[in-house]
C-alpha cells in the first residue's frame, strides 16, 4: 500500500513539473534601411521603426532600433506584423512620401528584408584622404525629395573623427562643421579636420564619417564609417 | 433559581433572534463618513478639499522613484545642468544622451511609467464641483470659496498637463461607466492646445472674485494665486504661439500641439493684464527685510514664511509628519547634522551667468593676461561685485551656512605646478616641501567621484533652512515650496510687455527685481532684449522648476541642449545668450598655493574642471517638446492621437 502512495506522489510530482511557459521569441528579423538598394547611415540606436502585432491583448509597439550602418535586427515570434515609420523619425520619409501607410509583413522563420525609404538627401562619392595629419573629406549631396512642400534645407554638414568605430554627432573625438549657408554647391563639398596629435601615439588607425543635419529634423543623415590608417 | 436563569437566557436569545434583518444589514457605518453626511458640514468639506490640495501636481515627478515632488526630490533639479548630483545613485543624471520622450514622467496610479496624465485627480475634482448643490446646509460664503478652490485646482491640473503633453481632453463633468460593455461614450479626443489654455484662463478669470483678496492663508487658493497662475499660463500660451512656428515639426495639423501665431498678442495681453491686476492689489511686495545684506535677503525669500513675496506655497510643518528633507539632503559637510548632505551642487554653467553689478557679463577671472593663474587672498573675492542672487542661490567657496564657514578646496599647488590632493574629506598629509602636516583637501570637498561632498566647488543655498535640526533625519524642515511668488509675476509682466513692444514698461518691472538684487544702474528700455528676459528668469528663478518649461515654451530647448559636448571655453562664453549651450555640468575647483615661507602661500587659485561622472552631453530632441502619451492610454481611448516625432 505504502508503495502505491509513494508511486502516486512521484507521479504527481512529475506532472506538476510540466513545462507550461511559452517559448522565447526565436525568429530573427533583420535587414537594412535603404534607398533603391543603397543603405542609409544614421546615428547608432537613435532611429527606430515600430512593429505592431495584434491579437494578444495589450497593444504595444516593438521599437526596432537601427544601427549606424542602417542595419537592424529584431528577435520575434512568427506571425503577422504591421510596420510603421513614426512621424519625424529618421532623416527620411516613408517610401510613398507620406506618413501613415502601414505595411503588413509576415514573419515565418528567420528572414531578411530591406526597408525602402525616401531620404531627403543621399551622401555619395565620399572620399577621405589623410595628409599631414589632416583628413580631407570630399562628397556630393544628391537631393532626393524634390517636392518643395516636403523638402528640407541643409542646416550643416560635419566631419567626425574618433578612435572608435561608433561615430556620430554625440560620439566623437573631434569634429568640424560647415554651416548650410556656407555651402556653395552640393556637387562638391570639402571638409577638413586635423587628427589630434595624441592619437598618433596610441593609434595606428582612426575612423571618420560625414554627417548632414537637416533643418527641422532630429535625426542626422550619415555616410558609412571609414577606417583610415595613420 | 437555575431554571429561572435558563428561562431568562432563552428568552433573551429568542428576543434577539427575532430582530429585523433589515436593521442588521443596514446599519450606518461607524468608521467612514458617507457622501451626504460630508456635504452637511463645512469642516468635513474642508478636509476633503485638503486631500485635493495635497495632490496638486508640482514640478517634475520622476519615474525612478515614487511620486515625490519638488523639495522632496532634490535630484530632479540636477537633470538639466543647473547642478551636479553628488550621490552615486544619481550620477546617471549626467550620463544620459537623449532625453526620454516620456519625460517628465512618473509612475501613475496604475503602475505605468507615463507623463503626467492624472484624470483620477481631475475626476475627483469634478465630483467635488458637481456636489455644489448638495452643500446647501453650509454658509454660502464657505460654499462659494470651496467651489472656487476646487476649480482653481482643476485649472492647475489642466495647466500642468498642457505644459507637458499639449492639448488633452477637457472633461468637466463626472464620467461614470454604465457597464454596458461599450465604453466609447467615455472616450474623448484631445482638445486643441489653445483650447486647454483658454479653458484654464477662463476658469481662473471666473473664480478670481470668489476667493479672498488677501494674503492670510498662502497654502490655499487666493485671488493672488489665481492671477499669478493666469499670468503664467497666458505667457506660456503666448510664447508657444509666437515661437512655435520656428519648430514646425512640433505642430500637429489638428492643433493638438501648437498654437496659431495670430493668437500670440491676445495671450500676451492677458498675461500682462493678470500680472498688473495682481500688482495693483498691493497685497504682495518684493522681500526686502534684510536690505543690509542682499544675498541673505534673497535666501530669506524662500525660508521666511512671513515674506510678502510668497503668493501660493506648498506648506510643511515640523512634528506633523509632513516635513521635507531638502536641507538634510544638501547640507554642506561643515554644518551637516547627519553623515550626509552636499548632494545638489550648482554648476559653473549657472554660476558664470550671474552679472557683475555694473550690468555686464564676465566669466570668473581665474587667469592673468599672461595665462598664469590669478591669485586671490580670499576665495570669495573671485565673486565680488556680482549679482546678490548668486550668493543667495549658491554657497560659494568661503561662504557660510548656519554660521559655519565652508571649507572648499581641491588641493594644494606649489608654484612649480605640483598638486597635492587627497581622497578623503579634510585629509591631512605630511608634505615633502616643509616636512609638516597639511590639510590637502577641504572638509566640504571637492573630490572627484566622491559622493555626498561637493563635486563642482559649489553648494546649493536656495530653499536651505538655516534653523537647527533642519539637517537631522528625525526633524527635517518645514520650509515651504513656493509655487508662485511676486518676483515671477513681475518677470511675467516684463516679458509680456516686452513682447507687446512696450520696452519701457518691461524695463520698469525688470528693474524692480534687479534693484532688489543689488543693481544700482537701471536697464534702459533700449537694453531690454529677448536674451535679457531669458537671463533674468534663469538667475532669479533657478531651482524653482521653471528652467525646463521656460526653455520649452521659447522653443530653444533643442538648441541649448543640443547633445554636443561642451568645452571649458563654452562654459564661460556667450554668458548673456538665451541659446547658450548647456549640455554638461562643469565645475570650478579652488586650490590653495603651497609655498612655505613665500609671499603667495595660502593664496587661492581656481581651475575649470569637468567632473569625471559627467560623461555625456544632454540632448533635447524635437520629440521632447511634447511628452509622449503612454500607449496604454491610447489603447484605452483610440481617439487620443500621438505627439509628433516620437
Domain ranges of chain A: 27-119, 121-229
Which pLDDT score, from 0 to 100, does residue A17 have?
A: 59
A60 touches chain B (CB under 8 A): yes
| Residue of B247, B619, B631 lying closest to A61 (CB–CB) | B631
Q: Does B612 touch chain A (CB under 8 A)?
A: no
B623 touches A at CB < 8 Å: yes
- Using the predicted structure, report yes or no on whether residue B393 has a pLDDT greater than 60: yes
> Taking residues B34-59, what's their average pLDDT?
89
Q: Is there a contact between B271 and B263 (Cβ–Cβ < 8 Å)?
A: no
Mutation target to probe the B interface, by most B beta carbons within 10 A, among A170, A171, A215 is: A170
B246 touches chain A (CB under 8 A): no
B401-442 pLDDT, tens digit each: 999 999 999 999 999 999 999 999 999 999 988 899 999 999
Checking if the pLDDT of B313 tops 90, the result is: yes
User: What tens digit of pLDDT does each residue of B237-266 get?
Assistant: 999 999 999 998 899 999 999 999 999 999
Q: Give residue-wise pLDDT tens across range B127-171.
A: 999 998 888 889 999 999 999 999 999 999 999 999 999 999 999
Percent helix, percent strand, percent coil in chain A, to nearest 5: 10, 45, 45
Q: How confident is the model at residue B276 (pLDDT cuts 50, 70, 90)?
A: very high
Q: What is the pLDDT of residue B36?
A: 85
Span B553-559, mean pLDDT? 95
Residue B411: its pLDDT value, please? 95
pLDDT above 90 coverage of chain B, percent = 80
pLDDT surpassing 50 at residue A161: yes
Partner B, chain A 75-104, Cβ-Cβ below 8 Å: 86-89
Which chain A residue's Cα is nearest to B252?
Answer: A87
Taking CA–CA distances from B621, the nearest residue in chain A reads A218
What is the pLDDT averaged over residues B192-201?
A: 98
CATH superfamily of A27-119: Carboxypeptidase-like, regulatory domain (2.60.40.1120)
Residue B69 pLDDT: 63
Q: Can you tell me the mean pLDDT for B461-470?
A: 95
Give the model's pLDDT for residue B10. 75
Selecting from A59, A60, A88 the residue whose C-beta is nearest the C-beta of B645 gives A88
User: Chain B: nearest CA to A215, how far in angstroms?
Assistant: 9
| Pairwise pLDDT comparison (A77 vs A18), residue with the higher score | A77
What is the rounded average pLDDT for all residues in chain B? 92
Q: Do B563 and A60 touch (CB under 8 A)?
A: no
The band of B21, judged by pLDDT with boundaries at 50, 70 and 90, is low
- The reported pLDDT for the residue numbered B202 is 97
The pLDDT, as a whole number, for residue A18 is: 59
Give yes or no for B616 touching A (CB within 8 A): yes
- The band of B211, judged by pLDDT with boundaries at 50, 70 and 90, is very high
Compare CB distances from B248 to A59, A87, A216 and report the shortest one's residue: A216
β-strands B344-346, B310-314 pairing: unpaired
Query: Chain B residue with minimal CA distance to A52?
Result: B631
Chain B within 8 Å of A25 (Cβ-Cβ)? no
Residue B13 has pLDDT above 80, yes or no: no
Cα–Cα distance, B260 to B240 (Å, whole number): 9
Best mutation target among B564, B625, B634, B642 (most A Cβ atoms within 10 Å) is B564
Does residue B320 carry a pLDDT above 80?
yes
Residue numbers in B near A170 (CB within 8 A): 97, 563-565, 616-617, 619
Compute the distance between CA of residue B76 and CA of residue B84 in angstroms, rounded to an integer.
10
User: What is the per-residue pLDDT across B87-100, written as a single tens digit (0 to 9) for each?
Assistant: 999 999 999 999 88
pLDDT recorded at residue B63: 41
Q: How many CB pairs (< 8 A) connect A and B? A: 43
Residue with cell 496624465: B117
The whole-chain average pLDDT of chain A stands at: 88
Output the pLDDT for position B304. 96
Average pLDDT over residues B534-544: 96
pLDDT at position B186: 94
In CATH terms, the fold of domain A121-229 is Immunoglobulin-like (2.60.40)
Contact indicator for B198, B264 with CB cutoff of 8 Å: no
Determine contact: B247 vs chain A, CB below 8 A: yes
Q: Taking CB atoms and an 8 Å cutoff, what residues of chain B touch A169? A: 563-564
Q: Nearest CA of chain A to the CA of B185: how many Å?
A: 21
Confidence bin at B337 (pLDDT 50/70/90): very high
pLDDT at B20: 63
Give the residue from B432, B394, B434, B428 showing the smallest Cα distance to B411: B428
Instruction: Please say whether the beta carbons of B234 and B274 come within 8 A.
Output: yes
Contacting residues for B64 by C-beta, under 8 A, at least 6 apart: none
Tell me: pLDDT of B310 over 90.
Answer: yes
Interface contact B646-A60, CB threshold 8 A: no
Residue B25 — pLDDT band, cuts 50, 70, 90?
Answer: confident
Give the architecture (CATH level 2) of B108-174+189-315+480-555.
Alpha Horseshoe (1.25)
Task: Work out the pLDDT band at A202, boundaries 50, 70, 90.
Answer: confident
**How far does the CA of residue B645 sit from the closest CA of chain A (Å)?**
4
Give the nearest chain B residue to A57 (CA atoms). B635
Q: What SS3 state is found at A134?
A: strand
* Rounded CA separation B615/B613 (Å): 6
Q: What average pLDDT does the segment B207-230 reach?
A: 96
Q: Which of the residues A61, A218, A219, A220 would you substitute to probe the B interface, choosing the one with the greatest number of B C-beta atoms within 10 Å?
A: A218
B631 touches chain A (CB under 8 A): yes
Quick check: do A27-119 and A121-229 share a fold?
Answer: yes
Identify the closest residue of chain A to B644 by CA–CA distance.
A87
The answer to whether the CB atoms of A170 and B564 lie below 8 A apart is yes
Phi, psi of B64 (to 5 degrees): -85, 0
For A110, residues 6+ apart whose C-beta sits below 8 A from its C-beta are A27, A28, A29, A30
pLDDT in tens, A107-160: 887 788 899 999 999 999 999 999 999 999 999 999 999 888 889 999 999 999
Nearest CA in chain A to B638: A59
Assign B562 a pLDDT band (cuts: 50, 70, 90): very high
Percent of chain B whose predicted confidence (pLDDT) is above 70? 95
| ipTM entry | 0.84
Which of the residues A216, A217, A219, A220 would you substitute to probe the B interface, choosing the one with the greatest number of B C-beta atoms within 10 Å?
A216
Report CA-CA distances (Å) from A152 to A17, B556, B643. Answer: 60, 20, 21
| Mutation choice for B interface testing from A42, A54, A87 by most B CBs within 10 A | A87
Q: How confident is the model at residue A59 (pLDDT cuts 50, 70, 90)?
A: confident
Q: Nearest CA of chain A to the CA of B63: how many Å?
A: 19
In which band, very low, low, confident or very high, does the pLDDT at B64 lie, cut at 50, 70 and 90?
very low
> Which residues in chain B are closer than 8 Å to A46, comparing Cβ atoms?
98
Give the start-end residues of each E strand in chain A: 27-35, 38-39, 48-52, 62-65, 71-76, 79-84, 92-94, 103-107, 111-112, 115-119, 121-131, 134-143, 154-162, 174-179, 189-194, 205-214, 221-222, 226-229
Contact B645 A86 (CB under 8 A): yes
> Between chains, do A216 and B247 touch, taking CB under 8 Å as contact?
yes
pLDDT digits (tens, 9 = 90+) for B478-516: 999 999 999 999 999 999 999 999 999 999 999 999 999
Residue of A nearest to B245 (CA): A216
The number of angstroms, rounded, from the C-alpha of A135 to the middle of its chain's C-alpha atoms is: 25
Non-local CB neighbours of B169 within 8 Å, separated by 6+ positions:
B188, B189, B190, B191, B640
Report the pLDDT value the prediction gives residue B66, as an integer from 0 to 100. Answer: 47
Average pLDDT over residues B515-522: 95
Q: Is A137 helix (H, G, I), strand (E, B) or coil?
A: strand
CB A6: neighbour CB atoms within 10 A? Answer: 10
Residue B126, pLDDT above cutoff 90: yes
Amino acid at each position: 500500500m505504502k508503495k502505491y502512495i509513494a508511486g502516486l506522489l512521484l507521479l504527481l510530482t512529475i506532472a506538476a513539473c510540466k513545462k507550461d511557459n511559452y517559448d522565447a521569441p526565436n525568429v530573427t528579423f533583420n535587414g537594412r534601411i535603404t534607398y533603391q538598394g543603397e543603405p542609409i547611415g544614421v546615428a547608432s540606436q537613435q532611429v527606430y521603426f515600430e512593429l505592431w502585432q495584434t491579437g494578444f491583448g495589450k497593444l504595444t509597439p516593438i521599437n526596432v532600433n537601427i544601427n549606424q550602418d542602417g542595419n537592424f535586427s529584431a528577435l520575434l515570434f512568427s506571425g503577422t506584423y504591421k510596420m510603421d515609420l513614426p512621424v519625424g523619425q529618421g532623416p527620411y520619409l516613408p517610401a510613398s512620401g507620406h506618413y501613415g501607410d502601414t505595411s503588413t509583413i509576415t514573419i515565418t522563420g528567420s528572414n531578411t528584408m530591406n526597408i525602402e525609404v525616401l531620404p531627403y538627401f543621399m551622401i555619395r562619392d565620399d572620399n577621405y584622404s589623410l595628409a599631414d595629419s589632416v583628413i580631407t573629406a570630399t562628397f556630393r549631396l544628391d537631393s532626393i525629395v524634390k517636392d518643395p512642400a516636403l523638402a528640407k534645407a541643409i542646416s550643416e554638414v560635419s566631419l567626425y573623427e574618433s578612435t572608435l568605430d561608433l561615430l556620430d554627432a554625440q560620439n566623437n573625438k573631434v569634429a568640424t562643421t560647415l554651416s548650410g549657408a556656407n555651402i556653395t554647391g552640393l556637387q562638391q563639398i570639402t571638409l577638413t579636420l586635423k587628427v589630434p596629435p595624441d592619437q598618433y601615439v596610441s593609434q595606428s588607425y582612426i575612423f571618420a564619417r560625414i554627417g548632414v543635419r537637416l533643418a527641422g529634423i532630429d535625426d542626422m543623415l550619415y555616410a558609412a564609417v571609414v577606417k583610415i590608417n595613420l | 433559581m437555575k431554571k429561572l436563569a435558563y428561562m431568562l437566557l432563552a428568552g433573551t436569545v429568542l428576543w434577539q433572534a427575532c430582530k429585523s434583518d433589515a436593521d442588521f444589514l443596514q446599519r450606518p457605518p461607524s468608521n467612514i463618513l458617507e457622501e451626504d453626511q460630508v456635504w452637511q458640514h463645512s469642516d468635513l468639506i474642508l478636509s476633503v478639499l485638503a486631500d485635493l490640495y495635497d495632490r496638486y501636481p508640482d514640478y517634475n515627478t520622476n519615474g525612478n522613484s515614487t511620486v515625490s515632488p519638488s523639495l522632496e526630490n532634490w535630484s530632479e533639479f540636477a537633470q538639466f545642468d543647473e547642478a551636479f548630483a553628488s550621490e552615486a545613485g544619481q550620477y546617471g543624471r549626467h550620463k544620459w544622451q537623449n532625453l526620454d520622450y516620456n519625460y517628465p514622467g512618473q509612475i501613475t496610479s496604475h503602475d505605468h511609467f507615463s507623463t503626467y496624465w492624472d484624470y483620477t485627480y481631475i475626476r475627483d475634482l469634478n465630483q467635488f464641483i458637481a456636489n455644489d448643490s448638495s452643500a446647501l446646509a453650509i454658509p454660502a460664503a464657505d460654499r462659494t470659496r470651496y467651489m472656487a478652490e476646487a476649480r482653481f485646482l482643476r485649472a492647475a491640473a489642466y495647466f500642468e498637463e498642457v505644459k507637458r503633453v499639449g492639448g488633452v481632453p477637457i472633461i468637466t463633468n463626472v464620467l461614470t461607466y454604465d457597464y454596458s460593455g461599450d465604453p466609447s461614450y467615455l472616450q474623448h479626443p484631445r482638445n486643441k492646445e489653445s483650447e486647454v489654455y483658454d479653458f484654464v484662463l477662463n476658469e481662473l478669470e471666473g473664480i478670481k472674485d470668489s476667493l479672498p483678496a488677501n494674503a492670510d492663508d498662502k497654502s490655499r487658493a487666493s485671488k493672488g494665486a489665481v492671477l499669478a497662475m493666469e499670468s503664467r499660463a497666458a505667457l506660456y500660451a503666448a510664447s508657444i504661439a509666437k515661437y512655435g512656428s520656428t519648430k514646425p515639426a512640433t505642430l500637429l495639423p489638428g492643433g493638438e500641439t501648437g498654437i496659431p501665431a495670430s493668437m500670440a498678442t491676445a495671450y500676451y495681453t492677458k498675461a500682462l493684464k493678470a500680472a498688473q491686476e495682481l500688482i495693483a492689489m498691493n497685497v504682495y511686495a518684493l522681500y526686502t527685510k534684510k536690505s543690509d545684506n542682499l544675498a541673505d535677503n534673497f535666501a530669506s525669500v524662500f525660508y521666511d514664511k512671513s515674506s510678502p513675496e510668497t503668493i501660493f506655497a506648498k506648506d510643511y510643518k515640523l512634528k506633523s509628519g509632513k516635513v521635507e528633507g531638502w536641507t538634510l539632503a544638501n547640507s554642506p559637510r561643515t554644518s551637516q547634522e547627519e553623515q550626509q548632505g552636499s548632494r545638489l551642487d550648482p554648476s559653473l554653467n549657472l554660476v558664470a551667468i550671474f552679472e557683475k553689478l555694473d550690468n555686464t557679463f564676465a566669466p570668473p577671472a581665474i587667469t592673468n593676461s599672461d595665462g598664469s593663474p590669478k591669485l586671490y587672498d580670499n576665495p570669495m573675492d573671485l565673486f565680488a561685485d556680482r549679482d546678490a542672487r548668486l550668493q543667495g542661490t549658491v554657497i560659494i567657496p568661503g561662504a557660510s551656512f548656519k554660521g559655519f564657514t565652508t571649507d572648499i578646496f581641491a588641493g594644494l599647488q606649489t608654484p612649480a605646478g605640483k598638486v597635492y590632493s587627497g581622497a578623503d574629506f579634510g585629509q591631512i598629509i605630511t608634505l615633502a616641501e616643509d616636512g609638516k602636516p597639511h590639510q590637502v583637501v577641504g572638509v566640504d570637498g571637492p573630490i572627484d567621484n566622491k559622493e555626498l561632498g561637493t563635486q563642482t566647488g559649489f553648494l546649493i543655498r536656495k530653499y536651505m533652512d538655516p534653523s537647527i535640526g533642519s539637517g537631522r533625519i528625525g526633524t527635517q524642515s518645514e520650509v515651504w515650496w513656493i509655487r508662485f511668488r511676486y518676483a515671477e509675476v513681475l518677470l511675467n509682466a516684463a516679458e509680456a510687455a516686452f513682447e507687446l513692444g512696450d520696452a519701457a514698461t518691461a524695463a520698469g518691472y525688470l528693474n524692480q527685481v534687479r534693484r532688489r538684487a543689488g543693481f544700482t544702474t537701471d536697464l534702459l528700455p533700449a537694453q531690454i532684449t529677448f536674451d535679457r528676459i531669458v537671463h533674468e528668469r534663469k538667475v532669479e528663478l533657478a531651482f524653482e522648476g521653471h528652467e525646463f518649461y521656460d526653455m520649452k515654451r521659447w522653443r530653444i530647448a533643442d538648441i541649448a541642449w543640443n547633445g554636443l559636448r561642451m568645452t571649458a571655453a563654452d562654459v564661460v562664453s556667450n554668458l548673456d545668450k538665451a541659446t547658450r549651450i548647456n549640455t554638461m555640468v562643469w565645475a570650478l575647483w579652488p586650490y590653495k598655493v603651497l609655498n612655505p615661507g613665500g609671499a603667495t602661500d595660502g593664496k587661492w587659485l581656481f581651475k575649470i574642471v569637468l567632473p569625471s561622472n559627467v560623461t555625456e552631453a544632454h540632448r533635447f530632441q524635437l520629440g521632447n517638446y511634447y511628452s509622449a502619451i503612454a500607449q496604454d492610454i491610447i489603447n484605452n481611448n483610440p481617439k487620443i492621437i500621438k505627439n509628433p516625432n516620437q
